[in-house]
Structure 1
Amino acid sequence: MPWSRSSSPSRRSDVIRPPRSGRTSSAHRFAAILIAAPMLTAAACGGQSSKVQPTQTPVAAVQTSPSPMPEPSPSTSPTPSHVFVIVMENRSYSEAIAGRYTAQLARQYGVATNYRGITHPSLPNYLAMTSGSTWGVTDDGFHPLPAGGLGSQLTSAGVSWRAYMEGMNNGCFNSRYPYALKHNPFAYYGSACPAQIVPFTQFALDIAGPDVPRFVWITPGLCNDGHDCSTAVADAWLARTVPTILATSAWKEGGVLFLTWSGAAYDHYSLLAAIEDELGVARLGAAGKASPMTDLMERSG
């Protein structure tokens, strides 16, 4: 699929949404997105590596939006949104919600119960979430793709971002378990390791600082994401990590948190569309026709 960008529909997304500035606590608007993809419940991410060509060659990494939105005046410009994404693994909705902390989030925020993965196994789903296409990839092997994707799109738009990879201690391509390259989609575009891809150990420093990136992607290691370990282990990791996000002004002042199990009405293209809508950039590939997550975004806490 070419790196086409369509005009963004209404600005919606699934995630844990903080209160809008200027509102009292009782009127805080929260949107939490908890997404489980049953299609990947039993997936044993793996498979043989083989050469796979993208479905089509991208015409450009970034194009001008067909219908650019006018820039708001400084006096009326809203506080820029922050988008946080945490991608877990291999759980159906019922299995994911069995975690005590996850169930707590589900009671308080929005839950997409009719959300599904694009395909099987993991890698093509991660590519769908970050480019709007699976590129014809059907396994978890390494497949060099043209430069582009969500990271490149945000960089070109001047939107700060970082992808935090747990267990990555020797770069994108040489780190070992519990890191998994197949769960780091940003390294596939242009077969490069952008400076924005950093070890998860950097997250605690960044989240406590004054300049939290506007887009934060978090990939836990193969144990903490639930791939190789129990739901209880994954849930405990979320219970340690999510509160640090919810305590930040970046989330409280118009931010959104998407918590998804890479596994209806919604799928990974809907998530990409929600991320791009929140950050004010045009939609990539199949995200252009994805269903907006309006109902989840409007839920109040």
Structure 2
Amino acid sequence: MICTIGNIRIVRVLVPLLAVLLMATGCQSVQARPPAAVSPGSTTRSPSASPSTPPSHVFVIVLENTSSRQALAQPYISSLASQYAVATNYRDLGNPSLPNYLAMTSGSTWGIRDDGYHRLPAAGVGTELTKAGITWKAYFEGFTGDCFNSPYPYALKHNPFAYYGGTCPANVVPMSDLAADLNGNPPQLSWITPGMCNDGHDCSVRTADRWLSGVVPQITSSTAWQQNGLLLITWDESSAGDGRVALLVVTPTLRGQITTPLDHFSLLATVTDRLGVARLGQSAQATSLQDQLQAAAANTGG
């Protein structure tokens, strides 16, 4: 009998002593595990983060005004859903845009029901990450250095970070910085917002799909994503008025459909759990995907 231990091949011969040694040592086969399938309902509600590994890189892309059905009918978005994981029971928090962006970044809509400017307390996920010494940037297409006075296609209502404390954080940067950061040392949280055309707000859903097809491969080819990174892609609100939007969970390890009820608070809970900081506002009671992500990484040795 020939068996393998590490890189050493041992030939069992009919010598009693050697036979005893081989029996004591034993030979076991090791098989690589495929990416873990999503187990609906396996997420848990936890009020605090409990990461078992150091914080990984998280990327978030938010697009505009598209129903889940319409988004998943697009060729590139559909390919991502097939190749990675997609949440099929994910909901927005109503309309218009701004309250959804605030919920995704602070765990509250702050009672706001319009897209106007409101100076809010210095809060939000950016503030928490800065306090914890965790790097982050928010990349905006059309941003020219002034959160309150950058030209189209930039939109202030899609930049929630400018509302917390009434200032323009230095972490808010032009979209043109993204490629260089991905090739170098990207922050641990990259929040990515295309302009009013490429996000599907003023242009077609197919335009947004084409934009994603150019940006997502840059992220997934980066070392930051390949080393247990996480990319979340969602839409602020549904164009169908049914509250149902898609959430694509693009990670090297997780596959399949996630049917657990989720919403924008869940996105924030997942981001903060992933980065190891406290949850904010209503995200403290939201369902996070962190347990599923950790289980998938463990199953694949990630």
TM range, normalised to the smaller chain? 0.7 to 0.9
CA contact (8 A) 1:85 1:217 kept: yes
**Mapped pair 1:281 → 2:277:** yes
Q: Percent identity?
A: 56
Q: How far, CA to CA, are the matches of 1:248 and 1:271 in structure 2?
A: 22
**Residue of structure 2 equivalent to 1:226:** 200
| CA positional deviation for 1:30 | 7.8
CA apart distance, 1:295 = 8.2
Residue equivalent to 1:262: 236
Q: Secondary structure at the match of 1:119?
A: coil
Structure 2 CA distance for partners of 1:30 and 1:281, relative to 1, 3 Å:
farther
User: Against the structure 1 CA distance between its residues 147 and 246, is the aligned structure 2 distance closer, same or farther, given a 3 Å change threshold?
Assistant: same
For residue 269 of structure 1, what is the amino acid of its counterpart?
F
Aligned equivalents of 2:96 and 2:279: distance in 1? 24
Q: Which residue of 2 aligns with 1:168?
A: 143
Gaps of 5+ in 1: 1-23, 33-65
Aligned-pair distance for 1:294?
5.9
Contact 2:274 2:290 in 1 (8 A): no
1:84 aligns with 2:59: yes
Residue ranges of structure 2 left out of the alignment (5+ in a row): 1-29, 39-46, 238-259
**Alpha-carbon offset, residue 79 of structure 1:** 4.8
Aligned partner of 2:176 among 201, 206, 223: 201
Whichever residue aligns with residue 213 of structure 2, its letter is: A
Q: Who is 1:246 aligned against?
A: 220
Q: How many residues align?
A: 238
Instruction: Give the partner amino acid of 2:222.
Output: T
The residue number in structure 2 matching 1:49 is: none
The reply to whether residue 118 of structure 1 matches residue 114 of structure 2 is: no
Cα distance change of structure 1 residues 204 and 133 upon mapping to structure 2, 3 Å threshold: same
CA distance in 2, matches of 1:138, 1:31: 38
Measured after TM superposition, the shift of residue 118 of structure 1 is: 1.3
Distance 2:53 2:95 in 1: 39
Q: Does 1:212 align with 2:186?
A: yes
Q: Who is 2:78 aligned against?
A: 103
CA separation in 1, counterparts of 2:141 and 2:162?
15
Tell me how far 1:208 sits from its aligned partner: 1.0
Closer, same or farther: CA 28–207 of 1 in aligned 2, 3 Å: farther
* Cα pair 1:31 1:296 within 8 Å, conserved: no
Q: Is the contact between residue 200 and residue 218 of structure 1 (CA under 8 Å) also seen in structure 2?
A: yes
Off by >4 Å, runs of 4+ in structure 1: 26-32, 66-69, 298-301
The secondary structure found in structure 1 opposite 2:137 is strand
TM-superposition CA deviations, 1:203-224 (whole Å, max 9, x none)? 1111111x11000000000000
SS in 1 for 2:148: helix
Q: Does 1:153 align with 2:149?
A: no
Specify whether residues 138 and 114 from structure 1 end up closer, same or farther in structure 2 by C-alpha distance, changes over 3 A only.
Answer: same
Q: Which amino acid aligns with 2:92?
A: G
Deviation at 1:292, TM superposition (A): 2.2
1:292 aligns with 2:276: no
Q: Is the 1:270–1:292 contact (alpha carbons within 8 Å) kept by the matching residues of 2? A: yes
8 Å contact from structure 1 (residues 98, 231) kept in 2:
no
Match of 1:136 among 111, 116, 119: 111
**Could you list the per-position Cα deviations for residues 47-99 of structure 1 after superposition, in whole angstroms to 9, with x for gaps in the alignment?**
xxxxxxxxxxxxxxxxxxx9796xx9xxxx84531100000111101110121
Query: What is the aligned-residue RMSD (CA, Å)?
Result: 2.6
Name 1:18's counterpart in structure 2.
none
